[in-house]
Structure 1
Amino acid sequence: MLTEKDFPVNLPKEYRKCYEELHELLNLISFTLQEVNDKTWRKKLAEMCILILGVQELEKLDMPK
């Protein structure tokens, strides 16, 4: 669990749970990537993570409200 000082100062309190979940997810991804010994594959996997997250965010923006 994050402490008060771990949150960005300008982060609204209602987003703290989301921020904590994101923090946990990034730690998991980071740990997983560290386990991949082949640097080329580690880079490819990191790029895929970024691409997938970006595509999901764009899909949310395209959804009608």
Structure 2
Amino acid sequence: MESMEVKLLEKLELLMSRIMSWTRKWNTMEASWVKFPRRCIRVRSRYCCRTSCRRYCETARSRR
């Protein structure tokens, strides 16, 4: 019984680490896609997203 639990925990940890690395990859990918993102609005010849790229919007506005 204990060995089963240990195996399950190990699998869970592996899954978690995979999810973490995947999210990290996804975030960097998203950051690189800021140039042509989905659901975006133009701000002075620059694109910015309403969702995750709000900070990019602000920097684009402040840089001008």
Structure 1 length normalisation: TM-score? 0.41
**Higher normalized helix content (fraction of residues):** 1
Larger radius of gyration, structure 1 or 2?
Answer: 2
**Higher normalized strand content (fraction of residues):** 2
Structure 2 length normalisation: TM-score? 0.42
